[in-house]
Structures are given as C-alpha cells and as structure tokens.
Amino acid sequence: MRKLFLLLAIVLVSAPASLAQDYSNWEFFIGYAHERANNGADRLDAQGARITSTGATRPVDFPSKRVQYNGVTGEVVANVHRNVGLVGNISATFHNANFRDSLSGQTFDAKLSRYTLLFGPRVNFRNDSPVIPFAHALFGATRYNANFDDDDFTCPDTNETAFAMALGAGFDIKASDRIDIRPIQVDYLPVFFDNRREDGIRFSAGVKIKN
C-alpha cells in the first residue's frame, strides 16, 4: 500500500511538469512578409496636385490598384492556455510605385510603406504530431506613407492611419524544443481608410523561438 501511495505521489507531481512541456509560455516570431494591398491612389488624388513649369498646380488622377509590398513581420505570443494565446503582431512592408497621371500622362515615382500593429487571440490546435495549426483574429491599425521622389508633385499629407484587422491561419512545424518553423501564414487584411474598406492579403513565413 505504501508503494502504491508513493507511485501515486510521483505521478501527481510529474503531471504538471509534463503538461508544462507541452507548450511554452512565451513565443517570439520573426519572418518575411508579402502583402498585396491598395496603392492609396484615391487618397493621393484627393489631396495631391501636379506642379506645372509655371508653378501652377493641377489635379491628378492616379489609377487605384492592388500592388505588392515586401518586408518583415514579427510577433510576441503569451500562451494563457494550451490552446489559446494572446498575440501582438507588427509588420513593415514597402513598395516602389510608379503613379501615372491619366490627365497629363506624367509619371511620378514614390516609395510606399505600410506599418501595421495588431493584437488579439489565437487558437492553437495542438496534437501529438510536430505540426501545429493555428487561427487568429487580430485588431489594430495600419499606417500608410507615400514618399515622392519628384518635386513636380505636392501633397499636404501623405501619411494616414486607419483601423485594421487580420483574420488568418497558418501552421508551425516543431524543429526542436526551442525552435519552430512556420512555412506559411495567410491573413485577410482589411483596412478602413476614410471609412472605406480596402481589402488586402498578407503571406508570411519565418522562425518561432519558444521560451
């Protein structure tokens, strides 16, 4: 009987340790990000103007379209449960744009940037395999900036910040006790500039460090 109680005590003591090893309290991710998002032409049309050789200003009409941004993304995750984590996500993506004014035929070069900061819950579908799928709903803001190289274009404000969301999913593959590889994460990324929704999508991949 004494041996039975001793065995039971060992099981009870070791059980929490086994559960703790199933997931880490903190996770840190860094990776490459590719976004397909709007070039912001409508906002530039409303505020910007072309400067003529005489110094006069004329309106512009840039085509609004989805372009490809490339950059980096990172996140910090606090796992409050085996299957639930709280995510803080940040990304910075960039695009070299050529805006062609349909009114004058003139082309203007600009460097576009998008900075996104998001927070929200994530559900991890942990299992006995090394593959861990996840899904999340994140909320925050995106800041858009257009930096024009040409002095023939003027715009009083090329910076704008708006409410943003990321509804996405992906999966991690366990490489070691401290490292996971994330082959793919896909996020639907709507941003609400001027109370209008601009739909975007973000692909990311990278490495996750577990602590």
Judge whether 10 lies within some domain: no
Reported pTM: 0.85
Judge whether 87 lies within some domain: yes
Judge whether 70 lies within some domain: yes
Domain encompassing residue 119: 26-210
Judge whether 2 lies within some domain: no
- The pLDDT of residue 22 is 67
Number of domains in the chain: 1
Judge whether 177 lies within some domain: yes
- The pLDDT of residue 66 is 96
Judge whether 200 lies within some domain: yes
Judge whether 13 lies within some domain: no
Locate 128 and state its tokens.
Answer: 């006995």
Here the CATH number for the domain that contains residue 34 is 2.40.160.20
Our CA angle for 159, 161, 193, nearest 5°, is: 105
Judge whether 8 lies within some domain: no
Is the pLDDT reported for residue 157 higher than 70?
A: yes
pLDDT band at 46 (very low <50, low <70, confident <90, very high): confident
